[in-house]
Amino acid sequence: MDRLPAARRFVRRFVAGPALEDALGVAARLNAAGVDAAITHLGENVATTDDAARAADAYLEVLAEIGRRRLRAVPSLKLTHLGLDLGDAVCRENLERVAARGLATRTLVWVDMESSAYTDRTLELYRRLHPTYSNLACVVQSYLRRTAQDVERLIEIGATVRLCKGAYREPPAIAFPDKRDVDASYARLLDRLLSADALARGVYPAFATHDERLIARAREKAKAGGVTADRYEIQMLYGIRHDLHATLGAAGSRLRVLIPYGEDWYGYFVRRLAERPANLAFLFRQLLRG
C-alpha cells in the first residue's frame, strides 16, 4: 500500500500525514474555521514497554504543541497504544503521565474505546483515574448490548463521554449485528446522555457520528431541553462529511474533528474502509487506474 501512489493518496484522505506537524496544521486550519480538534497519534497494540512509553511521550509532545500554538485541540489516545496488552500497570503509568500534563494545562484527554476485549479494562481504568484526573474523557459504543448499563455507571460519576457506534468486528452475542439496532441504540443513549438528570450530574456528552439523522436528533433534543451549545458537542473524523462543518457551525453547534497522524495508519485506515464498502470500491478503482 505504501509503495502505490494511488493508495497513498487515498490514505491521506483520512490521515493528516506522517508527522505531528501535519496534524497541527490541519488543527490550525479547522480552528480558523470555528471547528475544534482532537489529535490522534496512530498506533495500537504495541509489543514492548519502550514502544508504549514512546507513545505516551508523543502525546506529551501533542499537548506541548497544542499549548504553544494555542490551539483549540485535545489529544485522543488508545490504551493498547500505551501498553494495555503489557499489563494494567504499564498502561496506567503511561496514561497518568499524559493525564497529569493535560490536567496541568486544563486540557481534556480522550481515551478511545477499542474492541470488546478491552471494554471492561478501559472503563475500569477510567473510573479509577477519573477522581484524580477530571480531565479524562471516555468512549462508549452503541453497537454493544452492554452499553446502556455502562452509560448509567458513567452518568453516576458525571463523566465526559463520547458516544460512537463502534468500529470493530464483534460477535452477535455481544453486539447488535443489524445496523438499524445500532442506530436505535445510539438514539436511546443519546437521549439518556442529554437528559436533565445526566447533565445535572456533570455529564458532558460528545456525539461522534456523521449520521445526519442522529446529529439532528442531538440538536433537537438539546434545544427542547434548554441545553445550551456549550454543554455538549458533535464530533466527526477528518476526511468524512466535511460538507457538514459549515452548516453545523452556522447553526451554533460545537463541532470537534478528530485528526489522525503517524506512520502506523493501517488499522485505522482498514476500519474506515470496512464501515463503508463504497470506500473499498473507490480504492480499487484508484488502484486499477494507478
Residue type at position 5: P
Q: Which residues are catalytic?
A: 112, 162
217 touches ligand FAD by CB under 6 A? no
Which residues in 136-155 contact ligand FAD (CB under 6 A)? 139, 141
Q: What angle do CA 270, 268, 76 make, to 5 degrees?
A: 160
Cell of 34: 470555528
| Widest pairwise Cα distance in the chain | 55
Taking the least distance from each CB to ligand FAD, the nearer of 101 and 272 is 272
Cα distance from N-terminal residue to C-terminal residue, the chain:
12
Which residues in 222-281 contact ligand FAD (CB under 6 A)? 235-237, 240-241, 258, 272, 275-276, 279
Taking the least distance from each CB to ligand FAD, the nearer of 6 and 49 is 6
CA distance 6 to 16: 16
Select the residue interacting with ligand FAD from 91, 98, 208, 255 (CB under 6 A): 208
112 touches ligand FAD by CB under 6 A? yes
In whole angstroms, how close is the CB of 179 to ligand FAD at the nearest point? Answer: 7
Nearest-CA neighbor of 233 among 186, 181, 193? Answer: 193
Taking the least distance from each CB to ligand FAD, the nearer of 164 and 203 is 164
Taking the least distance from each CB to ligand FAD, the nearer of 153 and 200 is 153
Residue type at position 46: V
In whole angstroms, how close is the CB of 200 to ligand FAD at the nearest point? Answer: 25
Nearest-CA neighbor of 147 among 188, 207, 177, 206? Answer: 188
93 touches ligand FAD by CB under 6 A? no
